[in-house]
Structure 1
Amino acid sequence: MQSFKSRGAVLCPVSYDNHASLVNALQGVEVLLSAVAINAILAQLPLVKAAKEANVSVFFPSEYGGRCENNDSRLQMFRDKQKVIDAAKDAGLPIAGLATGPWPEYAISPPMGFDFANKKVTIWGNPDTKITFTTLSSIAQWVAHVLKDVPVTELQNKYLNIQGDLVSRNDIIRLWERKHKAKLEVEFRPVKELEERIEADPTDYLASVLAGWDTGEYHLQPIHNDLYPDWKPDSVESLL
């Protein structure tokens, strides 16, 4: 945290159980950008109340990933994110949702079926369904530019989708094999396995994302990359 302070950031100690401390920290703030982790989504509810009282112009809830607004997912995380969106709307706090698709640095990994170290890939469902991916650094570049150059009034009460790259899992396999001049062993599994996992545990985030990769839930549309016309996001291939 001190490294951010040395670069000009103002650090404000707060307690999420202390409404006054949150309001005080948000005084004079035009944009509130939240990045709470998936296990603390509802911690944003006190932020919503405080931001409204402090006259924050627009609130970016911790969305990222897939679209959470009006998402009927059985996953608890998405239901919690919807509660935050609803709370902001009920409070009259303008929001700007931001969906980015999965972060490939973390999503293209063994827990999600990509075990490149052992040259093995596991795919649940349709391998040709397209998926929006955007790296963390590309997201940061887009957000920083938009907050600097786009009027806040053009962000209020909007749900934005950005896309660094659009590829299927079969595309990822082809890209990796071409780049590394090696073959991958691919195993196909039924989506029913994922549905059973989610039914047994509504907090099984990985199973929910994998199921969404099959259905096209993570093929984001429409795309709002044009809010930063010169944006050059990372490609998936560059990470393989």
Structure 2
Amino acid sequence: MAPNILIIGATGAIGKHITQQIVSAKSSFGRLAILTSEKTANTKTSELEKLKGEGIQVFVGDLTVEEDMKKAYQGIDVVVSAVGRGVIETQIPLIKWASEASVSRFFPSEYGTDIEHDSKSPNEKPHQLKLKVRAFAKTINNVKLTYLVTGPYSDMFIAPGKVGSWDVKVREATLLGDGNNRIAFTAMADVGKLVVGCLQHPAESEGVLIVNSFTATPNEILAEIESQTASKWKTTYISLDELKKLEKEMWETGNPTATTATLRRIWTEGGTLYDRPRDNGLIGEPNMKTLAEQIKQVIQKQMKA
């Protein structure tokens, strides 16, 4: 039977991409619904009306209120969570309430860096809340969990920034490490395709899945972006030791960019690489963006900004 699906965080940074792909594949599913806050209902009216026009049911409620969630969960088989980093811990009661309702499967908001990549992972500051969610989920027996680990979003990585930067308008880049460190990326639109792949292959996608769009080094990204812009970029490098020093200073001074510094240090150290094949093939090998396609999109977006 086609599953009824509820999406939480459907209009957020990654949630909108996941929602778009699920809606595009709606013939594979039963009833589709989203839960949104009252604030979002008032500020993203046109976006929600468009979803309603696609036949998507919109619940307005508070994800921290049991009564609201139990109402939204009625008749739902699968919950796809795309909540932001700031409210990751709210998924603990969300999973608990799901286990008390009709929900049989839950996708926690795991998209991003692997929090169980190696022995150092449990000590990384940005991982702590996701680790708490996973620990709690292990105590739940009647809801199957799918953790989709995508690595960094290439859309956000290849962009202007304070810790590593790619600025198309001024043709300047700041690369982390020596530029030859391989990083596995996933385009944000592809995250949605991968979620759909999991939904369409439920038996093959229980537990932790390691997926991505493409793997490239910063120097390979630079070569592609210079080729597509037909120009030589001004390039500087921040060594791994310098990055670690910067990361430490940011945490000590309460800099809000400290989380970004830690994640980028993890990626630079090889925290997205594995000795085994990716799990894309388990879920139908969805069509993923290439490096060249992602660079083309990045250039178009930055030039329009």
Q: TM-score, normalised to structure 2's length?
A: 0.71
Q: Could you list the runs of 5+ residues in structure 1 that have no partner in the other structure?
A: none
1:100-179 mapped onto 2 (5 Å cutoff): 100-111=150-161, 112-147=164-199, 149-150=200-201, 152-156=202-206, 158-179=207-228
Q: 1:12 aligns with which of 59, 62, 73?
A: 59
Corresponding residue of 2:280 = 225
Instruction: Give the alignment partner of residue 97 of structure 1, picking from 147, 155, 158.
Output: 147
Alignment partner of 2:127 out of 78, 94, 103: 78
Per the TM alignment, residue 80 of structure 1 is displaced from its structure 2 partner at its CA by 0.5
Contact 1:126 1:214 in 2 (8 A): no
Specify the alignment match of 1:25 in structure 2.
72
| Paired residue secondary structure (1:91) | coil
- Residue aligning to 1:206: 260
Matched, 1:41 2:95: no
Q: Residues 197-233 of structure 1, C-alpha deviation per residue, up to 9 Å, x if partnerless? A: 4542486221012202210112355411103435221
Q: Is this contact kept in 1: 2:197–2:284, CA < 8 A?
A: no
Residue aligning to 2:270: 216
How far 1:139 sits from its partner (Å)?
Answer: 1.7
Structure 1 stretch 177-186 or stretch 31-40: which is displaced more?
177-186
- Given that 1:33 and 1:60 are in contact with CA atoms closer than 8 Å, whether structure 2 keeps it comes out as yes
Distance 1:59 1:116, change over 3 A: same
Q: Which amino acid aligns with 2:65?
A: N
Report how far residue 109 of structure 1 moved. Answer: 0.8
Distance 1:236 1:183 in 2: 18
The Cα RMSD (Å) is: 2.1
The AA in structure 2 aligned to 1:234 is: K
Identical pairs, percent: 26
Count of aligned residue pairs for this structure pair = 236
Shift of 1:164: 0.5
2:107 paired with 1:60: yes
Mean Cα displacement is larger for which, 85-94 or 195-204?
195-204
1:49-105, CA deviations, whole angstroms, 9 ceiling, x for partnerless residues? 111111422211101111124732432x31011111111112334211111122122
Partner of 1:234: 289
Code of the aligned partner of 1:217: G
**TM-score normalised by the chain length of structure 1:** 0.89
Structure with larger RCO (C-alpha < 8 A, sep 6+): 1
Distance, in Å, in 2 between the alignment partners of 1:194 and 1:210 is 11
Q: Which amino acid aligns with 2:82?
A: A
Matches of 1:87 and 1:2, distance apart in 2: 35
User: Gaps (5+ residues) in structure 2?
Assistant: 1-47, 296-305
Q: Distance in 1 between matches of 2:278 and 2:196?
A: 18
Question: Mean alpha-carbon deviation: is it higher for 169-178 or for 224-233?
Answer: 224-233
